[in-house]
Structure 1
Amino acid sequence: MRVVRGRGEDPAADGEVTARLLDEVGERGEPAVRVWAPHRIVAFGRRDANDPGYDAAASAARERGFDPVTRSVGGRAVAYDGETTLAFARITSVDDVRGGLDERYEALTVDVRRALRRLGVPAERGEPSDSFCPGQHSLQRDGKLVGIAQRVRADAAITSGVCLVRNHEELADVLDAVYGALDAPFDPDSVGSIERAGGTSDPETVRATIEAELVGDADPTVECLDEA
């Protein structure tokens, strides 16, 4: 299993890393895992980008020091603080695009939940009302900690998500402004973090713990990115 650490030199280059991994897993069949801290951004989904309030939402993000970017998949806006908000992904090959969706969601949810328990956070499935990027596959403890999504192609699937480690108040502030501009339901108090839940919140410890659970018993080959 390939394990990729680090991030690209800017948000566009960082996105290309994951896109490259998806292509390579589809071609070669070897699974890959990546756990990293994206740049300081608000990542908008396609629905947000087509919303009449998008320009105002993007401006609200910029005013708070977050670069607005648009991701290719659906879902609502997610904020990353550049240091303590982690993204994670497990990429696997696909034989039948019609099968395995639920199994991949379940496997990743179980692994991330196990990592959180190791960090001292007994997270529960589900999410508070009016939370950021609402979806069926989330984990919560004193607010939403983790959201999980999936993208499936004919040759590979990426099951990925976000984990809030610290800084939930700043993230809640920018998301409140962004969701307000989009006229979308949002409760700032729904934003949690490992720190808020009383767990071990050193970002590198959290990153390594989630990575270890996503890799499992596989023999990893590590690739480190050199950020400029």
Structure 2
Amino acid sequence: MEDKSKQLLAQPKWRIIDQTTLGDSFHALQSFAMDDTLCSSIGSEDSPPTVRAWVHQKTVVLGIQDSRLPELHEGVKFLESQGYQVIVRNSGGLAVVLDHGVLNLSLILSEKKNKIDIDQGYDAMVYMTRRILEKYGLSFDVVEISDSYCPGKFDLSIDGKKFAGISQRRLRGGIAVQIYLCVTGSGADRAALIRDFYDKAKSHESMKFTYPKVNPEVMASLSELVGKDLTVSDLMRDVLLFLKEQDADLLSSHLSITEINQYDFYLKRVVDRNNKALEQ
């Protein structure tokens, strides 16, 4: 699969949208609208493949399944009391923590001409992450860490400690492969926050869906794992260097006028879905 991953990443041109320094004014719901917009634009080949990087301040992003927790409002009140915004994303997976020490990357590709199977998209992100972390002497396993938050087949971990998770969203011929990388801070503290959220949002009655029993000891940041301070800026630089090594032209840009109009539509849809999910 590595050759196919390399092929996906060996694009002649990569569009770069860096939203890592927008601060408090950049809401997480805007991020999901951005990726939907770019999926549509790239899927129709009105834009080249794109890498979007983003950081949000103290936000917990819930999955659709989390929005069905019996005591959801108690859980949300707890998170808000800890200074976190709470949103529900329009894709799969479960609760994750975003803050200034978490770098999010989206690889957004078109499958208009060539079908990209699900694992191929995941493998491309894994390959890029391996190459980026090589310089720090880090190698990692790709295996589900069942007692982490948002466990999945493509969890990335070192010595059993998860530092990243990958998801995908597909829309209108475009594919967004998304990874969150815990770069700085305490992985255990983030995990404890989600553990406590579930403790408050679950009921004592049996539920059809099994939510993870989060163990803070199985999560860490890259800074903790490498034993020195890394920053989001460090990792963002490494991403750009990796793409340059693929002989790609890098084009830094914002949304086009057409994309801005699409973005308004997708943002309204994301906000409406979020409000509906949190009202349940």
TM class, shorter-length: 0.7 to 0.9
Q: Which protein has the larger Cα radius of gyration, Structure 1 or Structure 2? A: 2
For 1:190, the equivalent position in structure 2 comes to 218
> C-alpha deviations, 1:95-141, integer Å up to 9, x for none?
37975222111111111122122233222222433111011111101
Letter of the 1:196 counterpart: E
Pair 1:120 & 2:137 matched = yes
Aligned counterpart, 1:102: 119
More helix by share: 2
Cα separation, 2, equivalents of 1:203 and 1:33: 15
Residue in 2 aligned with 1:32? 50
> 1:80 corresponds to which letter in structure 2?
L
2:205 is aligned to none
Matched, 1:210 2:228: no
Specify whether residues 116 and 127 from structure 1 end up closer, same or farther in structure 2 by C-alpha distance, changes over 3 A only.
farther
Q: Which of 74, 78, 93 is the aligned partner of 1:60?
A: 78
- TM-score for both structures, normalised by structure 1: 0.88
Gaps of 5+ in 2: 1-13, 203-210, 256-280
* Pair 1:6-2:35 in alignment: no
Match of 1:221 in 2: 251
Q: Deviations over 1:18-62 (max 9, x none)?
A: 232222212315110012212320000111112213212211211
After superposition, the Cα gap between the structure-2 partners of 1:65 and 1:209, relative to the gap in structure 1 and judged at 3 Å, is same
Tell me which residue corresponds to 1:158.
176
**Residue 176 of structure 1: which of 191, 195, 199 is its match?**
195
* Contact 2:49–2:110, Cα closer than 8 Å, also in 1: yes
Which of 99, 111, 126 is the aligned partner of 2:128?
111
Q: Distance in 2 between matches of 1:104 and 1:217?
A: 20
- Displacement of 1:67 after TM fit? 0.4
Residues 68-115 of structure 1: CA distance to partner in whole angstroms, max 9, x if unpaired?
01100011100012x111111100011379752221111111111221
The superposition leaves residues 153-199 of structure 1 with CA deviations (integer Å, 9 ceiling, x where unpaired) of 34111111100011124312312212323443111111111011025
Structure 1 residue 145 corresponds to structure 2 residue 173: no
Corresponding residue for 1:70? 88
Identity of aligned residues (%): 24
For residues 97 and 186 of structure 1, do their structure 2 counterparts lie closer, same or farther at Cα, with a shift above 3 Å needed?
farther
Closer, same or farther: CA 182–191 of 1 in aligned 2, 3 Å:
farther
- Matches of 2:127 and 2:48 in 1, distance apart? 21
- Between the two proteins, the alignment pairs up a number of residues equal to 224
Cα RMSD (Å): 2.3
TM-score by length of 2: 0.73
Q: Which residue is 2:97 aligned to?
A: 79
- Superimposed CA distance per residue, residues 193-217 of structure 1 (whole angstroms, 9 cap, x where no aligned partner): 1011025512210122134436743
2:69 alignment partner, SS class: coil
